[in-house]
Amino acid sequence: MLLIDKQTQFIKTLSAELGFSYCGIAKAGPLDDDARKLEQWLNKGMHGKMLYMENHFELRVDPQKLVPGAKSVITLLKNYYPSEQQSPSAPSIAKYAWGNDYHDTIRSQMHIFFDRAKKEIGNFNGRGFVDSAPVLERAWAIKSGLGWVGKNGNLIHKQSGSFFFIATLIVDIELKYDDPIAKDYCGTCTKCIEACPTDAILENKVIDGSKCISYFTIELKDALISEEMKGKFNDWIFGCDICQDVCPWNRFSKPHEEPAFSPLASVLNFSPQDWEEISLETFNSIFKHSPLKRTKFSGIQRNLKFIQWHDTEKIKADTQL
């Protein structure tokens, strides 16, 4: 038991040294309840055209399918809340995309994590995941005591809010496990539900992904966005932070200290005209390390035209009144 305590303490100290804000550990095992909820969500088509979410179902709900003999799931939270603000004239971009791509940053840190852990603990098997693999990271974060899922579907930490990336490490060594938070601290608050302009936040913490602004501006690859969404995007051209910005728990958010997440000047200051005039070559150069490359130049231009199109229609309508 002393060895397990020592190894656990080393894991948590190492996570802090690598710049992670919080570390929680849960016992590995099948996520039966989460599997049922995921299946129902998929059957209702709430993933829209994100067909990849239908793949590898059995891997998502059982960590031992990803790491044979898995005994522990380590969850790391990395803060990305910025100290800066976008210019009022700049089209809105979700805060997580203001700096370098978090996948690259966190993967690099996880490689260091495993290398140092194996030198200290001894050789063991494990895999690290950040957002782009079949892992139910929020479920493991809850089991490891790092927070609860709010009505907006985000993991909320009681001391720091929800502006975090989640990294999940599955290992085949036994560690000391944290207790999950037994209470949901959202209470009767419905600010996120009321603020969502596309009504994507439903009852019982269900999110209709096919209605989310982030889905339309990032995941959807169609050349055109449905007219049903006309006038509902505000000025978001990549992702959306509305449900997090209105969440009372985010009053506790503090600026991150990760250099890789420092905002690009273009993200903070580009006006609609700047975005209109940018060339493909310039876009690829400026945003080569940015999450914005995910939706590509064509996607950004589509999104920009869509929000400008509905704004123009609104101006015309107001003029005719």
Annotation marks residue 131 as catalytic: yes
Contact 47, 54 (CB under 8 A): yes
Catalytic-role residue among 5, 62, 115, 131: 131
219-235 in b/e form (b: 16+ CB < 10 A) is: bbeeeebeeeeeebbeb
Q: How far apart are CA 67 and CA 183, in angstroms?
A: 30
Report residue 23: phi and psi, to 5°.
-135, 130
Unique residue bearing structure tokens 């000047």: 265
**278 dihedral zone (left: phi>0; alpha: psi -120 to 50; beta):** beta
Contact 130, 101 (CB under 8 A): no
Contact 316, 230 (CB under 8 A): no
Unique residue bearing structure tokens 């006006």: 271
DSSP structure string for 275-302:
HHH--HHHHHHHTTTSGGGGTHHHHHHH
Q: List the structure tokens of 197.
A: 């302009």
Q: List the structure tokens of 220.
A: 């959807």
Could you report how far apart the first and last alpha carbons of the chain are, in Å?
75
* Positions marked active-site: 131
